[in-house]
Each structure stands twice: as structure tokens, then as C-alpha cells.
A and B are shown apart, each in its own frame.
Chain A
Amino acid sequence: MTHSDDVEHLAECSACRQRFAANVVPFDPAARRGREREFTSVAGRLERERDESSDVVARYLRDTPTDEWSRLAEMPDLRNNAALEQMSEEVRRRLHRNPREALAIANLSASIAESLAPSQYPSVVLAQLRGTAWKDRSSTLRYLARYDEALEAAERGEEALAPFASLEHDRAVIRMVKGMILAQQEQFEDAHQILSECRRVFRELGETKRYIQAGMAEANMLYREGRYNDSSELLQDLLHDAISADDLEAQARIHNNLGHSASQLGDFASANIHFSEAVAKFTDLGFVAEVPRTAFGAGVLLIGKGQITAGLARLREARQEFTAAGMVDEAGLCALRIVETLIERGEDTAARQLTQDVIDEFTAAGLDARAITAISRLRDAIEVDDATAETVRTVHAFVRDIGTSTAT
């Protein structure tokens, strides 16, 4: 039995836990009672604050102009653990759709956490609050591609936790973000070391969900390094964990990424199976946007690898799903990818017809007139045999950028 097996067994066997704890450490009963009292009183206090502060952050954010959010740091009812937990949740919610607002909230949170009175909570809890606030700031800066600042914020978080041996869980959460930043900066060796260590910590804590997330970040990094075999091997391991944990979303994402790795390794049969699994699982989960996005990513990759028929089938499937989900702009962009391939294959009639379909759909949906004009010009160019794949790519980029700028 190895050391870790031994510990694993202790977690599962109450008889062995009792035996292990028996007659070893002579406690000072008074000191122990004092600690226990501190623990229960802090537990009670945190919970009371949660009860008393329900949605206080959402209310303040709603009632205050965004550019004045920094002033909220002075509000007494926001200066506690419960409010900081809510801020962290608000950051998470906004990360994808409005990272700038997320950053403003993360800054507010860091400002509050750093200025709480030392007597307000035990020092270990204060360190956790500061660590989480800096982690949120780091995450949002990473989303905004401000990597140096993101790294700095992650390191501030690590500093806050450094004096406490017991905060390896919190440390691993911050370091996972740091690992992702380093991977994006292509500092693969450091990123690899950090993410592997995070996985070890999460595994030991029985935190399967985070273990899988750290593993997926590591697999993604290996993929970006071009180490497709290593990436695939790690993803296969993670898939077992995701299945054991009954985590359907993780399974779907892992299958998607396995599909990409398999495509890069030239194993298109396996890639198709994984993509189909990903689509099926996203469908089961009701993730209407993820289903066509998975098929779209698969289609683009397969075409890039010369698997034209399989790739086109995936793109058509994606277009149909985007349309069914009412995502007209995404369906149009997907159609333009198909048009690009059709033109390369000399199937101009089909390409022209599909372009016309997109014009009709965009017009009916009242989308940006500039996009419709650009696609109309593309249709005309196809008509007079003057369009190349490059022309389609240019129009695709233009339409996509209009969509992005409109969205923000």
C-alpha cells in the first residue's frame, strides 16, 4: 500500500480513522475547546452574514452607474465575506459577456478585501478573501488579454495566501489561473509544472470537477505546443474521471477536444466519433449554442486537413443547428465557410445559391446593412466568376467583425 493509498483509505474507512487518531496526540483540552469555539463562532458569523446580505451586491450594482462602482468600497454592508462572495459570483457571470464590468467588480472586491480590518475575521479567512479577489481580477485581465497585469494579480493573490500552509486549495485555484496565463504567453514549461501540481492538489482534495478543469487546461496547452499525442492521452484519462463523476458537460468538452487532437493526428475516424459524442452530449444538456459550435469547429478543422466531404457535412449540420437556435449571424458565418469550400471545388452555382440564402436570412432578420451589402457583392462576384476563396474569407472576416463590434 502506498502512502497515498493509505490516506485514501483513511478518507473512506471510519474505523481506521478512529484507530489512526487514537492515543497519539495529547491535547491541551482548554486550548482545544478555545479553538473549537473560534471555529463554530466564525462558521455562525459567516452564515449569518450570508443570510443578511442576500443579493446586496446585485442591488448596489444595479442602482449605481458603472463608472461609480469603485466608490462602493466604502459601503459598510459590502464590507464582509458574504458580499465578497457575491462579487465573485458577479465577476463570473460577466466574464464572458462583459469582461470590462467584471474587471470593475473584481477591482472593487480587491479594494474591499485589502482594506478589511484585521480583527474582522481570523487571519486565515482574511487571506482567503484577498486571494479570491485577486484571482478574480487575474481571471478578468486574462480575458481582456492583459496578460502581464493578469500575472501580477495572480501573484498578489499568491502572496496573500503565502503565510498559510493550510490554504493549498485556495492557492491551487489561483495557480490554475496563473498556469492558464503562462500557457497563453507560451511559457509552456512553467505552465505545465503549475497545472500538473494543481491537478495533484485537487485530486488529493477529492475536487474532481476542478481536477478535470486543470487537466483540460493542461491538455489544451499540450495541444498548442503541438504535442497532440500527449494531449490526447491526458484527455483520455480525464474522460474516465468525467464519466466516473457523471459530469456530462466535461465529457462533452473532452470529446470535442479529443476530436481535435485525433484530427491533428490524422485519425479522422476517431475524430468523427469524438465530435459526434460531443454533439450528442451537448444536445442532451440542452446547450443549444455549443452543439453547432462543436460541429462548426470540427468542420473547419476537417476541411483544413483535406477531409472535405466529412468537413462539409459537419458545417451543414452546424448551419442547420445555428438556424434552429435562431442564431442567424452564426448560421450566416457558417454558410460563408461552406461557400469558401464550394468555390475552391468549383461548385459556383451552389455557392451562389447559398450566398443568396444568407442575404435573404440576414435581410429578414434585420441584421447590419453593411454585412448584407458585403455578401451581396460576394454573390455578384461569384455570378461573374470573379470570386476566390480569399474573397470569401475577406467577406467572412468583415461580417464577423461587424457582429463583434455590434455586440460590444
Chain B
Amino acid sequence: MAPEAIDDPPADLRTIPLPCSVDENVFARIYEENCGLLVSLAVRKFQVPTVDAEALAHEVFLSYLRHAGEVRDLHHWLIGAICNASRYYWRKHGRNVEQLDTDIAAERPDPRSRNVLFDLPDSIALDEVLERMPPRWAQILRLRYLDGYSIKEIAEQQGVTSKYMQKLVGKCLHRAQEIFNGMRARKDQ
């Protein structure tokens, strides 16, 4: 294989200056339009504490300045950057899991769901099911079926459309059923 074809450091690792004279209003607008989104992503999707999330989002904006000339899609980049920053934040804080990656997070129960149904007659089974679910999914089921929130209310709280939330609740139920069936099969053996 011609090593020169792929083994060189990428030719465009350089930082490309911004294409035109700076207009500080443009940057102010970028900040205003996206700050809330970035903080929300860090808080909602990764459960980063609000104060830290705001600091992370601010750092993402500052780091953007040296990449501005090479970023093709601002929203894509900002969202990717805050997601990566949130993951790094948790790595540094000793939680080496992707908070909402369903496969990985399923292995790590949400501590808040541990005793939520302690007093209910089916608490053990229900608790076990919720513990085996991704934290966000467990929370959605709790909100819907234990706290009595409507699909619309949960969708608003989670920042997604009602249609998507409806689909997500269906998925959560399906997953809960699978977990419950698996638990019952093990007990029967």
C-alpha cells in the first residue's frame, strides 16, 4: 500500500482563520441562540449539574473560536462538542458510562429508582425491572405510570415532541416486559 497515501498526518490539520472580518454581533447571536440548547443537553441527556453544565457550554463556545473557520455545520459541531464534553466530564468525575446509551446504561441502574416503589405490593419485581432499565427510560415510566403525567407533559419536560414521546413510552414498556420475562424465566429454572 502506498504509505504516502494515507499515513501522512492530515494535510488540513491547520486552523483556518475566519473567512471574513469579525462581526461581534454574529458571535453574540451564536451564543444567545445556542447557549440554552447546550446547557439543556448537558443537563438533560447527561445529568451534568446545572452550574457545571453552564461552565461546560461556555468552554465549548470559547473552544469554537479556534475552529470556527473549519466548522461546516455549526449546530452539528456545537451539539457534538457538548455531548463529548459531557462524557469527558463524567469520565473525570469517575462515572465512566454514557448516561443515555441504552445498552451501557442498562448495566448501571439509576440510584434514584432503587426505592421508588418500596411500599407498593409489587415493589420487588417492579423495582428490579426499573433498576435494569436505562435511567432515562425508568424515569419516563415512573412519570407516566406512577406519577400520572400525560404524554404531552412528559414530552415537554424532556424537550421532545409528543409523537416521539409516545413512541418512546411504547419502547420503554416493551423493554420492561422483556426484562420482566427474563427475570421470571430465571426464577422458574
Contacts and interface: CB of A to CB of B under 8 A. Distances in A.
A44 B37 CA distance: 24
A19 to B, nearest CB: 6
Interface stretch (A61-69, A161-169, A382-390): A161-169
Interface in A206-237: 206-210, 213, 216-217, 219-220, 223-224
B106 to A, nearest CB: 12
B24 to A, nearest CB: 4
B85 A166 contact: yes
Nearest to B18: A47
A294 B4 CA distance: 10
B17 A180 contact: no
Nearest to A31: B54
Nearest to A49: B17
Given A11-B75, A206-B77, A46 B65 contact: yes
B85 A165 contact: yes
Interface residues of B, number: 76
Contacts of B44: 20, 24
B88 interface: yes
Nearest to B42: A25
A107 interface: no
A377 interface: no
Chain A interface size, under 10 / 10 to 19 / 20 to 34 / 35 or more: 35 or more
A100 interface: no
B59 A124 contact: yes
A50 B20 CA distance: 11
Contacts of A204: 80, 83-84
B155 to A, nearest CB: 9
Interface in A113-147: 122, 124-125, 128-129, 132, 135, 139, 142-143
**B56, B81, B167 — most chain A CB neighbours (10 Å):** B81
A43 B22 contact: yes
Q: Give chain B's interface secondary structure class.
A: helix
Interface in B1-53: 1-15, 17-18, 21-22, 24, 27-28, 31-32, 35-37, 39-41, 43-45, 50, 53
B102 A3 contact: yes
Interface string A164-180: 11111110010011001
Nearest to B158: A20
Contact of A47 (B8, B22, B50, B61): B22
Interface of B: 1-15, 17-18, 21-22, 24, 27-28, 31-32, 35-37, 39-41, 43-45, 50, 53-54, 56, 58-63, 65-67, 70-73, 75-77, 79-89, 92, 98, 100-102, 156, 159-161, 164, 167-168
Interface of A: 1-3, 6-7, 10-12, 16-17, 19-27, 31-32, 35-36, 38-44, 46-48, 50-51, 81-82, 85, 88-89, 92, 95-96, 122, 124-125, 128-129, 132, 135, 139, 142-143, 164-170, 173, 176-177, 180, 184, 201, 204-210, 213, 216-217, 219-220, 223-224, 253, 256-257, 260-261, 293-294, 297
10 contacts: A10-B75, A11-B79, A25-B43, A26-B50, A36-B35, A41-B24, A81-B66, A139-B9, A169-B63, A216-B6
